[in-house]
Amino acid sequence: MGATKRKHAERQVPAEPGDGIKALRVVDNTRKQYESTLARWARWLEKEHPSSIDQGGIVLPLTVPVCKGLLTYSSSKRNRQGVELMPQQYNSYATISGVISAIKYLYTERAQSMHGELETMFTENCAGYKRKVVQLRSSGKSRANLRCPSPDIDTWRFEHYSRLKI
């Protein structure tokens, strides 16, 4: 057995008995997140692009304009009914990255490959959205800047030790 094969074989063996169970739980939670995201898109697609839905499921392959619409829809924060919040608030870059991961998950689950044009659009959209988030933070329009700054270590020590009963 070669060195690389041994290295990969060693990695697959969990270090502790519970590690395998923890890993399965993480995979299960991720799958649930993706499926809830895909269900939300299915409802949106039913209204906006009915030809992309068949018996409640999303029809693959998705076109670039449909994916751009999904990403635009996902970039704004919404209430439980799907109505955009006013004043307009944008989701984080991590949320959009999760949206793209859910689309890739859908393709993987159905054993289909995405065409290059779609991959390129995702890459360009991610880069552009990351720039937009940075711009919003620097202009003060992002909620990330409205949070209180984290306390320095001396402030934390004072608050921590003042709570202790001596």
Whether the Cβ atoms of residue 90 and residue 142 lie closer than 8 Å to each other: yes
Q: Is the pLDDT of residue 52 over 80?
A: yes
Domain residue ranges in the chain: 3-142
Task: Kindly give, in sequence order, each residue whose CB lies less than 8 Å from that of residue 61, ignoring residues fewer than 6 positions away.
Answer: 112, 114, 115, 118
Q: Which of 139, 76, 78, 68 is nearest to 100 (CA)?
A: 68
DSSP string, 68-118: HHHHHHHHB-B-TTSPBPSS--B--HHHHHHHHHHHHHHHHHTT----HHH
Least confident of 1-5, 115-119, 162-166: 1-5
Task: Say how many Å lie between the first and final Cα of the chain, rounded.
Answer: 62
The reported pLDDT for the residue numbered 145 is: 40
Q: Is the pLDDT of residue 8 over 60?
A: no
Average pLDDT value over all residues in the chain: 79
* Rounded Cα distance, 34 and 29, in Å: 9
pLDDT band at 164 (very low <50, low <70, confident <90, very high): low
Summarize pLDDT for 53-105 with one digit per residue, the tens: 988 889 999 999 999 999 999 888 888 887 888 888 888 888 899 999 999 99
The reported pLDDT for the residue numbered 130 is: 87
